[in-house]
Chain A
Amino acid sequence: MSELADLKVPGPTEIELTKPFWKAAAEGRLLVQRCEDCTKAILYPREICPHCWSEKLTWEQASGLGRLKSFSRVHKPGHPGWMPVSPYVVGLVELDEGPTMLSHILPGECEPAVGDRLELKPTNIGGRVLPAFQRKDQGENV
């Protein structure tokens, strides 16, 4: 994973609201927001619930488990900083809590497939630990 850590790529443009999310990410945890009124989980973080427009949102630690909804192996990155690790895989991860996030999918023993069970693998990308994912049934030392 040292190659990913060495990348010179744009990191998150953190704002006041999202500081807890990125702080937790740096500690290897994934947070979602939970709406106290309609009880739905929300990601990315917002100031109001997109489902019911309540402002009563609280942070909650996610299980880190999810399902691969789609993926792409990127041969020509949109940002040149990603060239050293191309091709690499990004995917849409539907978290068990409900929301979908885009994430980096770490290489595994077999090709990714839609429907794969995934688990959170906090990973140093460009000098910051971000919530990347990997196939759940694979070992720790891939």
Chain B
Amino acid sequence: MTRSKAALIGAASLKPVRQTEGETTLGMLARVSARALADAGLEKDAIDGLLVGPQVGETPQHVPATVSEYLGLQPAMANVVDLGGASGPGMIWRAAAAISAGMCETVLCVLGNHRNAEAPRSPNRNPIREFDVPFGASGANISYALLMQAHMAKYGSTAEDFALIAHWARANAQRNPNAIFHGKPASVEDVLNSPIIASPLHLYEIVMPVAGAEAVIVTSAKRAKELGSRAVHLLGAGEKVTHRAVSQAPSLTSGPLKPSMERAFAQAGVTAQDMSLLSLYDCYTIMVAATIEDAGLCEPGGFGRFMRAHDFGPEGDMPLNTHGGQIGYGQPDLAGGMTHVVEAVHQLRGSAEGRQINNPRLALVTGNGATMSEAVALVLGADE
């Protein structure tokens, strides 16, 4: 008998019907998941991986986070499998692959869809649309403003503390001719004098949306050696999804990057203090602040002192977002998160022209989605 790659231990179905009335895909996924869990004889906390399908007409984006939030799950591996009729089988081997990669232990693979008569008129028909938008809270700015206000209230952090993050992003962008804010540095005063968009968030603390694209090629270490490539190595990874809407966040001041980074550091056998480069997702200044604290680079609430204690430029003692971060480089939509990977590759193999850090060995790369709710951390290492 061949060695098992994974075991399928629970299964369930909802009785098929020609039409549904007043159903939601989320609700149907929830019911069938509860039955599969019962069939497996598990408690729901055993589930730490989630694979779902696309949900056109109800949740066009952030599907795993929306399903996780609804089910009260906080998976350490979450993804959409979008392979039409092959999606179900495609989930099974991906689950096995994620388990053997050490990312999770037990994966819920779930697909389903309602067949209600009327088609929705706009792309979002889910809880965040139903329960946040009617009160005047549309878009990410407000969500991150709420996180920032909570940090200020809990720790006494100041507008200047946060402005330092935007100032350093702009300063580093001056070394990157591709950055949207190349030629446009900003002092702390400039940041504080920029308009308030949603208090306490200033305009210069928010990424500028841009067009752009980023790509990375991955192969095996063996193949890289055969090819004689200038390789950078993945040494550790972590993932965590905790919620979708900010009202459902388990914490407003610490996010899912904390366990993601802990797993990535543990896999790589390193600590945050070992990093030569911090390539941290920065949609807003509060995201960098929370990440620095969650990484253990300073105590919770202490990022302001940390920002004053270090030099974050390429020649500094703590290089941070040397491409300018997205706050300085611009945010090319979903490719924005990939800019942090691309910059780390350049720095670790010594090809960061005009802004090369000294003695590059290890980089922490973080990605963040929705309302500080979808997190991935990577530890990358230079070729030895």
Residues of A within 8 A of B (CB): 9-18, 44, 46-53, 55, 69-79, 82, 87-88, 90-92, 100-104, 113-115, 125-126, 128, 130, 132
Contact A50-B72, Cβ < 8 Å, known A79-B133, A102-B132 = yes
> Which residue of chain A has the shortest Cβ distance to B147 in the bound complex?
A70
SS class of chain A's interface: helix, strand, loop or mixed? loop
Bound CA–CA A55/B44 (angstroms)? 14
Contact A114-B136, Cβ < 8 Å, known A16-B22, A52-B44, A55-B34 = no
Bound CA–CA A43/B34 (angstroms)? 19
Is B247 an interface residue, CB under 8 A from the partner? Answer: yes
Contact A9-B136, Cβ < 8 Å, known A48-B34, A76-B141 = yes
Contact A125-B135, Cβ < 8 Å, known A15-B22, A15-B130, A16-B23 = yes
Minimum Cβ distance to chain A for residue B270 (Å): 34
Interface size on B, residues (CB 8 A): 52
Is B79 an interface residue, CB under 8 A from the partner? Answer: no
Stretch of B4-12, B161-169, B172-180, B192-200 that contacts chain A: B192-200
- Which residues of chain B (122-157) have a CB below 8 Å from chain A? 124-125, 127, 129-139, 141-142, 145-147, 149-150, 153-154
Minimum Cβ distance to chain B for residue A100 (Å): 5
* B149 touches which of A14, A71, A130 (Cβ 8 Å): A71
* A residues near B150, Cβ cutoff 8 Å: 69-70, 92, 114
Do residues B198 and A76 form an inter-chain contact, with CB atoms below 8 A? yes
* A46 touches which of B30, B149, B200, B246 (Cβ 8 Å): B30
Do residues A79 and B138 form an inter-chain contact, with CB atoms below 8 A? yes
Chain B CB count within 10 A is highest, among A90, A91, A114, for A90
Q: What are 19 pairs between A and B in contact, CB < 8 Å?
A: A12-B134, A13-B124, A44-B130, A44-B131, A46-B70, A47-B26, A50-B69, A50-B71, A50-B72, A69-B252, A71-B149, A75-B197, A76-B141, A78-B142, A79-B136, A87-B199, A90-B136, A92-B150, A101-B131
* A residues near B69, Cβ cutoff 8 Å: 50
* B252 touches which of A17, A70, A113 (Cβ 8 Å): A70
Do residues A50 and B141 form an inter-chain contact, with CB atoms below 8 A? no
Do residues A10 and B133 form an inter-chain contact, with CB atoms below 8 A? yes
* B residues near A79, Cβ cutoff 8 Å: 133, 136, 138-139
Contact A132-B24, Cβ < 8 Å, known A53-B37, A78-B142, A102-B247 = no
Contact A130-B24, Cβ < 8 Å, known A73-B198, A75-B197 = no
Bound CA–CA A115/B135 (angstroms)? 20
Write the B18-62 contact mask toward A (1 if CB under 8 angstroms, else 0).
Answer: 000111101100110110010000001000000000000000000
Bound CA–CA A75/B197 (angstroms)? 5
* A residues near B145, Cβ cutoff 8 Å: 72, 74
Do residues B70 and A102 form an inter-chain contact, with CB atoms below 8 A? no
Minimum Cβ distance to chain A for residue B148 (Å): 8
* B135 touches which of A13, A51, A100, A130 (Cβ 8 Å): A130
* B residues near A44, Cβ cutoff 8 Å: 127, 130-131
> Which residue of chain A has the shortest Cβ distance to B153 in the bound complex?
A114
> Which residue of chain A has the shortest Cβ distance to B138 in the bound complex?
A78
List of 8 A-B pairs having minimum Cβ-Cβ separation, nearest first? A16-B22, A50-B72, A78-B138, A78-B139, A114-B153, A72-B145, A47-B27, A70-B150
Do residues A78 and B30 form an inter-chain contact, with CB atoms below 8 A? no
Do residues A100 and B149 form an inter-chain contact, with CB atoms below 8 A? no
Contact A104-B136, Cβ < 8 Å, known A17-B22, A114-B149 = yes
Minimum Cβ distance to chain B for residue A134 (Å): 13
* B residues near A73, Cβ cutoff 8 Å: 196, 198-199
Bound CA–CA A100/B146 (angstroms)? 13
* B130 touches which of A12, A49, A132 (Cβ 8 Å): A12
* B residues near A14, Cβ cutoff 8 Å: 130
Minimum Cβ distance to chain A for residue B285 (Å): 14
* B residues near A78, Cβ cutoff 8 Å: 137-139, 141-142
Bound CA–CA A92/B70 (angstroms)? 18
* A55 touches which of B31, B139, B201 (Cβ 8 Å): B31
Bound CA–CA A73/B154 (angstroms)? 18
Do residues A53 and B33 form an inter-chain contact, with CB atoms below 8 A? yes
Do residues B245 and A102 form an inter-chain contact, with CB atoms below 8 A? yes
* B residues near A92, Cβ cutoff 8 Å: 146, 150, 246-247, 252
Minimum Cβ distance to chain A for residue B301 (Å): 14
Bound CA–CA A133/B127 (angstroms)? 20
Is B358 an interface residue, CB under 8 A from the partner? Answer: no
With A70-B147, A72-B201, A77-B138 already in contact, 19 other A-B pairs whose C-beta atoms are closer than 8 Å: A13-B129, A15-B125, A17-B24, A44-B127, A44-B130, A48-B34, A48-B71, A50-B70, A50-B72, A72-B198, A74-B136, A75-B195, A76-B198, A78-B137, A79-B136, A92-B150, A92-B247, A115-B153, A128-B134
